[in-house]
Amino acid sequence: MSDAAAFGRDVVVQGSASAFLQSVEIGAHRLRGDEPVSAGGTDEGPSPHEFLLAALGTCTSMTISMYARRKKWALESVRVSLRQRKVPAAECQDCASKEGVVTEIVREIELVGALDDDQRSRLLEIANKCPVHKTLTSEIKIRSRLT
């Protein structure tokens, strides 16, 4: 990928090979990632999947809020609750895969403010256009190399 096509800051993650706890650096921000105690971690930070859900929720809320501000709609706040689970593909009516398991993310969006039904419906459509949602539902290529 050329630098012109890149976006965002580099994310650097490092940790000891003896534990799950990881140090995450994003520009001037310092975070921790870990696994819950039940999975062998120390629960000193969100799990990788929780970070993924946080990215989707954050982007959803920001995108909805930005759209409502532009339209000058009476949106006061947005709350996005997310959870993820694995479901048998055979039980998923609208999935392309019919074998194995499918990752399902359930995203519940609460809109607070004096909005009519048409505005609420439009904001739900806008939620599906947030950049992280688009990334997660498009083809993704991860290119790994040793340095």
DSSP one-letter string for 71-97: HT--EEEEEEEEEEEEEEGGG-TT-S-
User: For residue 30, is it within any domain?
Assistant: yes
Length reported for the chain? 147
C-alpha distances (whole Å) from 12 to each of 4, 23, 27, 94, 143 are 20, 8, 9, 36, 16
- Inside any domain, residue 126: yes
Q: Which residue range(s) make up the domain with 84? A: 47-142
| 133's tokens | 């949602």
Same domain, 75 and 31: no
Average pLDDT over residues 2-16: 79
**Helix or strand holding residue 48 (H, E):** helix 48-71
* Number of domains present in the structure of the chain: 2
Pairing of strands 11-14, 22-26: antiparallel
Does 42 share its domain with 53?
no
CATH number of the CATH domain containing 52: 3.30.300.20
Residue 3 in this model has a pLDDT that exceeds 60: no
Helix, strand, coil shares of the chain, percent, nearest 5, are 35, 30, 40
Same domain, 68 and 88: yes
73 shares its domain with 126: yes
pLDDT band (50, 70, 90) for residue 98: confident
Chain segment 48-89, per-residue pLDDT in tens: 999 999 999 999 999 999 999 999 999 999 999 999 999 898
Does one domain contain both 107 and 73? Answer: yes
Q: Is residue 147 part of a domain?
A: no
Is residue 53 domain-shared with residue 39, that is, in the same domain? no
| Same domain as 69, residue 7 | no
Query: What whole-number distance in Å separates Cα of residue 93 and Cα of residue 80?
Result: 25
